[in-house]
Structure formats: structure tokens, C-alpha cells
A and B are shown apart, each in its own frame.
Chain A
Amino acid sequence: MTVKVERLTKRFGTSGEVVGVENVSFTAPAQRITSLLGPSGSGKSTLLRIIAGLEFADDGRVLINGEDITPVPVQKRQIGFVFQNYALFGHMTVFDNIAFGLSTRGKAKSTITDRVCQLLELIQLGSYAKRLPDQLSGGQRQRVALARALATGPKVLLLDEPFGALDTRVRVELREWLHRLHEETHVTTLLVTHDQEEALELSEHVVLLRDGEVVQAGCPQELYRNPANGFVASFLGGAKVFRGSVQQGRAEFAQNSLSAPVKEQDGSIVEAFVRPHDVGLEKVTAESSETATAVIARLVPVGGTVKVILKLPDGDSLTVQLLYHEAQSKGFAAGDRVTLDLRDAIVSPPLDYVI
């Protein structure tokens, strides 16, 4: 069931001065997980709610499997929706929560019981059927919410920041679990998230949004390797953006010389996106002939990696991520003078963006 969104526009406020989404078009491939990724206020949740039918667009249309469902009310859209705060029915047991969608459709009691038991098995909460939602942990509640959304066999599953309210550990586990679940069900899924890691890990298609507009869409690796602009590069992988100029066919950044895009003239301004783990560091000793380009301001060990915070000659700072072993074998310490190797930086002409 391919989900296609065409020129969706939604404004809020009495005179429509607040843009929710602006002229958004994209396609979510069938049987895949598509992430709607973006910072808060980028319109990703609004978009999901419009697809669900909980919100109405001012303009544009939504197609599921080629069929225009824009005028179809939410009850008839055959979608499953999972809310960030679970929105479980507090006065109903886990069983009744999952059964709700089936019972509103007037299914026979035995059918409902079979289906709910099957889903309870799937979410590994078989023994919790008689619990009330507030007797469950956050992770368990979210699994119940997923089962409830899946119970009616929806054409499309819409997840609105489903793991947003959970702590990191549970979030990572649930992510893994959701991946396995999707392998089994293959329901076309749209996942709203502001967590780039979640998007990169779970989805086969990413739509990156900013200020209600699509910035770039494609497979995660493509967005990661070929960011359309600095915003994409900095949002996915936390790239730092350097501005430099082209000198004799080479782009100069922070005393590094990189090969510039061929078509750029000498003297034109270019940008380099540098990701924290794509930088090589070498210590400058008294004997070495190289001149230092930065000073280590601070070392922050974070588990298996070390964050090296560098001070650049122009006063700017740059964070580099090294493996713990590498940092240790090279014997880095605060105050060391180092050279930078921006070997994997992505160089491109400057694009309009604001972070």
C-alpha cells in the first residue's frame, strides 16, 4: 500500500499565518518503513495527522494505493495510529484496549478473542491481558498501543514519535523489536521522529522536513552521503559546516586543503560538511615538520568513544569523535597541538540554510 502525498498545505492561526506544512509531496513505498524526520516544529506530526485524517489539509491530497482518501473520514481510512503518549484507554484492560477496534466493527466475540490473544503473543504481554494501562511500564504501554493499532489489520501504520517518551535503553530495545515486528507484518509504516539514529536504523526511506517543507527525501545512506545542503548534513550525523574559498582548484578550510568541486572558479566560496567521526587527528611534536592547526581543549570519554573538543585558530571549536583505543594509543591530552585531516568532508557550493 503505497502512501502518496501531493502538495499538502496546512496553515494554523486565525488568518493562516502559522505554517504547518507547505506544499509537501512525497511517496512512502509499500511494505517499507518511511521516516518523517525533522526538528520540532518542522510539521512532521501535522503531516502524519493529515494522512491519518485527524487533521484536514487546506490544500493537496493523500493517496493510499492510488486511491484518493482526502475526503474519507478517519474512521474509514483503515489506518493504525500510535500516539507518542500511548493514548491507551485508561479505564479498559489491556485486552479490551486491543479489542476495541475489532468490537467497534462488530466482529464476533470468538474472532476478537483469537485475534487479541495472537497479538498479545506478538507483543510478548500474554500474561498482562487483565492489567490496566497504569499498571504497565512505558515500554509495555507502547507495545499495547502498537497491538491495538495493528488489531484491525490496517493498510498503513502511522507512528507519531512512538518512543519519544521512553528512556534511552527501552527506546533502543523497542526499536529493535519494532524492526522484527515489521519483518513479520510488512505493513506500510510511516514513522515520525526527531531522532536521526532512529530514522537511519529503522527506515528504508527518509523524508527530511524543515519549517513545513521537504528538504530531502531518499534512502538513509543517500541522505547521509549526499546531503542536499548544510541542514541535511548537520541534522544527519551532526556535521559541522566550514566556509572556505577555492584556491587553484583546491578548497581551503581551517588550513586544510581539499579537492574542490570541479566547476568552481578560483576565489568562489564553498562549504565543507565535517562529521565528528570523519576527522583524522595527528599530534604535533617538537620534531615534526607540520604546523599545528588546532589545540585540544577538552577530552570527554563517552563509553567506547572519546569526544575531542578542539579549538581552531580562528577561535571556533570543532568536536571530533575518536575510538577510545585510538585516542589512547596516540596519547592525546588536553593542550596538545594537532593537525586535522578532513579527508571525508563533503565539499559543496554554499546553500541557503539556517540551522
Chain B
Amino acid sequence: MSGSVSFRLGGSGKHRGPALSDGRVARCILIGIAVSFLVFFVGAPLIVVFVSAISRGMPAYFDALRDPMTLSAIRLTLFTAGVAVPLNLVFGLAAAWSISKYDFWGKGILTTLIDLPFSVSPVVSGLVYVLLFGRTGWFGPALERMGVKIIYAVPGIVLATIFVTFPIIVREVLAVMQAQGSDEEHAALTLGASGWQIFRRITLPKIKWGVMYGVILCNARAMGEFGAVSVVSGHIRGETNTLPLHIEILHGEYNTQAAFAVASLLALLALVTLGLKHWVEWSAQRQSAPRIEPMVDERRAPPTVQGAS
């Protein structure tokens, strides 16, 4: 770029990163703490999962996964996430939209309540559903008369999962919406666009990475949820066992290898989630950055400062 000025802080070039470069010792200690913490608490368990899973060889590993009870748990987990994530997506978009675009009575309370599932123990969430829909609960007897079974059945598991995971998408989408403001939506309004047109053509493209991110995290949590689901499930093998519950049962029966084999599925899911999350962040960043070099005012190119090297 013509007319650019580059300069160097400190002159000698000895310090690569200027201002914040503390002494070498401090740097080594800090990095050491961070890395060893990660290795000990995250890396090692992850390796243990996979090593234990194949400790009796690959055939045993696949046998554990092919077990009918495991397959049923996989199906239930997929089903639960398949219901919970889309519902939370709809709720998340609606809630984020109304909180960021409208002023209404009780907005503050709503915003606070959204965080409730994050702040309460999942076991308590599960118990609440038992109290509401259980046999002796508020709606239990009425539901029983109608022949609807919620607690110790699939609907309860889905409800508990939705409850535990609903803040995730709202939080992500709301943050993106609030950061971007409503100016473009207002501009679209003055240009005659209807509410739906604005959502589809202006808002959605702006928030799509936030939505994706929320969906990925929500899905991971929905598939991995243990506490709340455990309370409402009843642990009926082949019927109300999700993957985490199934692992717990296998572990309780001292069938460690099978437990870890199934656990490896969840661990894989976690790795895939991280990969997707990374990809979404990378895509969002790439899209927000201009593809061609940004034009400076054509008549006057101000001297640019290329950061200290």
C-alpha cells in the first residue's frame, strides 16, 4: 500500500510482542500451569475413555455398541435431541427477537427467567417435573385419567431436556442480535418490507452464525444431559434409557469396558461439537471480514500504520 508507514516499538527488535511481554520465567510458569491443568483434567480423561473402551479389543468394543439396549439408548437420545433442539430453536428465536426488538412489561423478568435452568441444579429441574406430572403431582391424576404418561416415560425425558437446554440458543442469538442493533431492520421497514421479509432477508443472514453456534451447543447438551433426565426417566432399560443413563447403568454393573465403549460415543460427539464450533467461528469471522481489500476514500489514502513488528 502506497504511503504506508511502518514503525517499530522499542527499536532493538528484541521484544517480539511489545507492551505485555513479561519476563521469560513468568511466561513459562503461566503457560506451564495452563497446559498441565488441561492435560491432567481434560486430555488424560479423554484418552482413558478411548483406551478403556477398546481394552478388550475391537470386537468387544463393537459388541458393546451393537447391544440392543445400547441401540435403544442411542435411538432415544437422538429422538430427544431431535425434538428438543428444534423446539428450543423456535423458542430461542422468538424470545431473542422479542427481547431485543420490543419493549414490553416484564421484559426484565423474562430475561432473568431464561437463565433459570443454568442456575438451578438439573436434579431439581427433574424433580419439578415429577412434582408437576408425577402420579401424585399437580397434573398427574388428571393425566393418568386421560391415559397420558409423562413421568418415567419418553415425554418426561423430552420435557426435562428442553427445560435444561432452552437458555443456550436464546443466549447466543440474543447476544448477536443485541450487538447488531435494529438499524438495518428499521431501514428495511422504511423500504416497505414486511415483518417476514425483514426476518428472512435482513435478520436471519445477520444472525445465522449465532444460531448455528447455539444449535450445536444445545444439541451437545441435549444428548449429554444426565441429572434432570435421570430423575424423570425411571431407568427402564430399552425404553427410557438415554446414552448417559445407559452408561451409568453399565458402570454400576461393573461392566466397565462396555460403559466406556458407549461413553466413547459421547466423547466423539464432544469432539465433533468442538470441531463444528470452531468451523462456525471461523466461517463467521471470514464472512464479516471484507473479501477484497477495503477501499479507502478514493481521493485520499490516509497513511496507514502497520502495527509494530
Instruction: List the B side residues contacting A54 at CB < 8 Å.
Output: 186, 189-190
Contact assessment for A170 and B297 in the assembled complex, using a CB-CB cutoff below 8 Å: yes
Instruction: List the A side residues contacting B297 at CB < 8 Å.
Output: 137-140, 170
A263 at the interface (CB under 8 A from B): no
From B191, B201, B294, B296, contact of A152 by CB (8 A)? B191
In the bound complex, CA of A317 to CA of B276 (Å): 67
Contact assessment for A140 and B295 in the assembled complex, using a CB-CB cutoff below 8 Å: yes
Contact assessment for B191 and A101 in the assembled complex, using a CB-CB cutoff below 8 Å: yes
A293 at the interface (CB under 8 A from B): no
Name which of A76, A79, A89 has the most chain B CB atoms within 10 A of its CB.
A89
Contact assessment for B187 and A87 in the assembled complex, using a CB-CB cutoff below 8 Å: yes
Contact assessment for B183 and A81 in the assembled complex, using a CB-CB cutoff below 8 Å: no
Instruction: List the B side residues contacting A52 at CB < 8 Å.
Output: 190
Contact assessment for B194 and A104 in the assembled complex, using a CB-CB cutoff below 8 Å: yes
Contact with A along B81-113 (1 / 0, CB 8 A): 000000000000000000000000000000000
Contact with B along A79-101 (1 / 0, CB 8 A): 11101010111110000000011
A101-B191, A104-B191 are known contacts. Are A89 and B184 too (CB-CB below 8 A)?
yes
From B193, B201, B206, contact of A75 by CB (8 A)? B193
* Contact residues, B139-178 vs A (CB, 8 A): none
Contact assessment for A137 and B187 in the assembled complex, using a CB-CB cutoff below 8 Å: no
In the bound complex, CA of A75 to CA of B292 (Å): 34
From A76, A85, A132, contact of B192 by CB (8 A)? A76
Instruction: List the A side residues contacting B294 at CB < 8 Å.
Output: 134-135
In the bound complex, CA of A278 to CA of B77 (Å): 83
From A91, A104, A139, contact of B197 by CB (8 A)? A104
In the bound complex, CA of A90 to CA of B298 (Å): 20
B128 at the interface (CB under 8 A from A): no
Contact assessment for B186 and A87 in the assembled complex, using a CB-CB cutoff below 8 Å: yes
Instruction: List the A side residues contacting B212 at CB < 8 Å.
Output: none
Contact with B along A98-142 (1 / 0, CB 8 A): 001100110000000000000000000000000110111111100
Instruction: List the A side residues contacting B295 at CB < 8 Å.
Output: 131, 135-137, 140
Instruction: List the A side residues contacting B296 at CB < 8 Å.
Output: 137
Instruction: List the A side residues contacting B291 at CB < 8 Å.
Output: 132, 135
Instruction: List the A side residues contacting B69 at CB < 8 Å.
Output: none
In the bound complex, CA of A74 to CA of B192 (Å): 7
A148 at the interface (CB under 8 A from B): yes
A149 at the interface (CB under 8 A from B): yes
Interface size class on chain A is: 35 or more
Instruction: List the B side residues contacting A131 at CB < 8 Å.
Output: 292, 295
Closest A residue by C-beta to B206: A91
Instruction: List the A side residues contacting B193 at CB < 8 Å.
Output: 75, 100-101, 104
In the bound complex, CA of A132 to CA of B208 (Å): 18
* Contact residues, B289-309 vs A (CB, 8 A): 290-298, 300
Instruction: List the A side residues contacting B293 at CB < 8 Å.
Output: 135
Min C-beta distance of B35 to chain A, whole Å: 38
Contact assessment for B190 and A74 in the assembled complex, using a CB-CB cutoff below 8 Å: yes
Closest B residue by C-beta to A84: B183
Instruction: List the A side residues contacting B205 at CB < 8 Å.
Output: 91
Contact with B along A133-169 (1 / 0, CB 8 A): 0111111100000001101100000000000000001
Instruction: List the A side residues contacting B189 at CB < 8 Å.
Output: 53-54, 74-75
Contact assessment for B187 and A152 in the assembled complex, using a CB-CB cutoff below 8 Å: no
In the bound complex, CA of A132 to CA of B295 (Å): 10
Contact assessment for B190 and A100 in the assembled complex, using a CB-CB cutoff below 8 Å: no
Min C-beta distance of A127 to chain B, whole Å: 11
In the bound complex, CA of A77 to CA of B190 (Å): 8
In the bound complex, CA of A170 to CA of B302 (Å): 13
B188 at the interface (CB under 8 A from A): yes
Contact assessment for A83 and B194 in the assembled complex, using a CB-CB cutoff below 8 Å: no
In the bound complex, CA of A53 to CA of B190 (Å): 8
In the bound complex, CA of A91 to CA of B197 (Å): 15
Contact assessment for A81 and B187 in the assembled complex, using a CB-CB cutoff below 8 Å: yes
In the bound complex, CA of A196 to CA of B190 (Å): 27
Contact assessment for A104 and B192 in the assembled complex, using a CB-CB cutoff below 8 Å: yes
Instruction: List the B side residues contacting A89 at CB < 8 Å.
Output: 184, 187-188, 202
Contact assessment for B290 and A135 in the assembled complex, using a CB-CB cutoff below 8 Å: yes
Min C-beta distance of B184 to chain A, whole Å: 5
Min C-beta distance of B193 to chain A, whole Å: 4
Min C-beta distance of B75 to chain A, whole Å: 39
Contact assessment for A79 and B184 in the assembled complex, using a CB-CB cutoff below 8 Å: no
Min C-beta distance of A154 to chain B, whole Å: 9
Contact assessment for B183 and A105 in the assembled complex, using a CB-CB cutoff below 8 Å: no
Contact assessment for B192 and A152 in the assembled complex, using a CB-CB cutoff below 8 Å: yes
Contact with A along B271-288 (1 / 0, CB 8 A): 000000000000000010
A54-B189, A54-B190, A81-B190 are known contacts. Are A134 and B184 too (CB-CB below 8 A)?
no
Min C-beta distance of A89 to chain B, whole Å: 6
5 of the cross-chain contacts (CB-CB < 8 Å) are: A54-B189, A75-B190, A83-B186, A101-B192, A135-B295
Q: A residues bordering B, Cβ < 8 Å?
A: 52-54, 74-77, 79-81, 83, 85, 87-91, 100-101, 104-105, 131-132, 134-140, 148-149, 151-152, 169-170
4 smallest beta-carbon distances between A and B, as pairs = A101-B191, A137-B297, A81-B190, A87-B183
| Extra inter-chain contacts (14) besides given A52-B190, A87-B184, A88-B187, CB under 8 Å | A77-B190, A83-B183, A90-B206, A91-B206, A104-B191, A132-B291, A134-B290, A135-B291, A135-B293, A139-B297, A140-B295, A140-B297, A140-B298, A151-B191
